Amino acid sequence: MTMSPQHAARRRMYRRRRWTVGIIAVVVLALIAAAAFITITYADANNGIHRSSIAGLTGPEQNTGESNILIMGLDSRVDENGKPFPQAIYDQIHAEDASVGGYNTNVLMLIHIPANGGKAVGISIPRDDYVDFPDSPDGVDKGKIKEAYGDAMDASMTKLTNKGVAEADAYQQSRTAARQSTIKTVSAFLGGVRIDHFVEVTMAAFYEVAQAVQPITVCLNHATADTFSGADFPAGVQELNAAQSMAFVRQRRDTTSSDFDMTDLDRTRRQQAFMVSLAVKLKQASTFTDFGKLQKLIDVAKKDVAMDDKLDLLSFAQQAQSLAGGNISFVTLPIDHFDTVDGQSVNIVDVDAIRAQVHDLLNPPTPTAAPSTSPKSSSSGSSSGSSGSSGSASTPAPHPVYTDSSSPLQSGNVPCVN
């Protein structure tokens, strides 16, 4: 397939590799801000939020009481209208400006909420997994899963602008096409999993949500610093402001002279841990009764979040509060080995094994009745994650230490991670 120089340059822009945005924690923007919508007028919560249809993309609608929600975090340095963020945000998050970054979904997580109040699971998909692209955007059949969004967006923009569609309209239609292509790609990769809803967040959304609820308590197994993300953290329990929170979830390397070697999988685990810590904070704090904070979360959603047109915020809010209470665990899909394809480092995966694992996660065996026991204590046996810090009444003590990205991360306490 021959591309014009202009087309090729734009395609490179949509797929540009830069520092990851690390927005997975802003899943909570959908989950927690959705809960906030209970106390704000329903009409106000819905007005102005970007919506895209995904009806029928991955199968017929179901009335089973369960739902699968795909979270997409973009590395784009622009908002949902393609406009730059305020310069103050770029300064705080070490993200240069709107000319840097592309439209990679550097964060992909499937949230499965079972029927009847069962425990939810968050399944993180490593961004560099080498997968098939069902839509073959720009004639590309395979690539990193994060690139499905940008490739589809570029193909749509080229088609629409060639037809003379106004730039602003073409941009919004292409964002919709990109979301739909990503959803189909993820669904096919996971074995035809039905995706009922999506939530898409931008870089600014994370920072502004973190501003509204800071400080956030986290725990690290190692002291570490990174000049790229701005991270500079001691080991142990600590409280982070909004800028530090962004560095925490973006860091994927250690630039000190220490022997600590971080990977992209460590960053994914950090993002999961931050979600858990943020949920703990929101559960303890007065966020749900602070109308100023709630309104700020809603304002952020209107600028920097997109959702599907079937996601009912009022009913979803009740599920969100359950997740904020700790009723969720997180896993990261495995990688078989690393390789280089067309000059790019990629993750080679065992697709059959991944599909089997996802099937088991979404269809756990029905638990058998267990004999009644006394209430559980706050400690689960020999927890090694306290790092010598007992915390305080307002700072929950860390629970387990997580150094293996394949180990499920449980919600409910502040976890210690790499």
Do the bridges between strand 120-124 and strand 328-332 make them parallel or antiparallel, or are there none, so unpaired? Answer: parallel
pLDDT tens digits for range 107-121? 899 999 888 777 889
**CA 252 from centroid of its chain's CA atoms:** 15
What token pair was written down for 121?
């699971």
The CB-side HSE value for 111 (13 A sphere, CA atoms) comes to 25
Name which residue leads in pLDDT, 221 or 32: 221
What pLDDT is recorded for position 323?
Answer: 64
pLDDT digits (tens, 9 = 90+) for 247-266: 898 888 888 877 777 887 88
| pLDDT at 286 > cutoff 80 | no
d(CA 297, CA 370): 41
Measured CA to CA, the distance from residue 169 to residue 229 in angstroms comes to 34
For helices 291-304 and 203-213, the axis angle rounded to 10 degrees is 180
Cα–Cα–Cα angle for 381, 334, 107, nearest 5°?
95
Cα(28)–Cα(209) distance, integer angstroms: 9
pTM: 0.79
Of 184-198, 226-240, 310-324, where does mean pLDDT reach its minimum?
310-324
Mean pLDDT of the 376-402 span: 47
Q: How far is CA 64 from CA 60, 68, 315, 316, in A?
A: 12, 11, 15, 15
- Look at the block and give the residue holding tokens 């189909």: 184
Residue pLDDT, tens place only, 208-242: 778 877 888 999 998 999 888 888 999 999 999 98
* Contact status, residue 274 vs residue 218, Cβ threshold 8 Å: yes
Residue the block writes with tokens 């949902």: 80
Mean pLDDT for the stretch of residues 300-304: 73
Q: Is the Cα dihedral 126, 127, 131, 132 positive or negative?
A: positive
User: Residue 13's pLDDT is what?
Assistant: 45
Burial degree of 289 (CB within 10 A; 0-12, 13-18, 19+): exposed
Q: Among candidates 274, 288, 307, 290, which has minimal Cα distance to 415?
A: 274
Give the position of tokens 């096919």.
188
Q: Which residues are within 8 A (CB) of 140 and not within 5 positions of it... i.e. 6 or more apart?
A: 133, 151
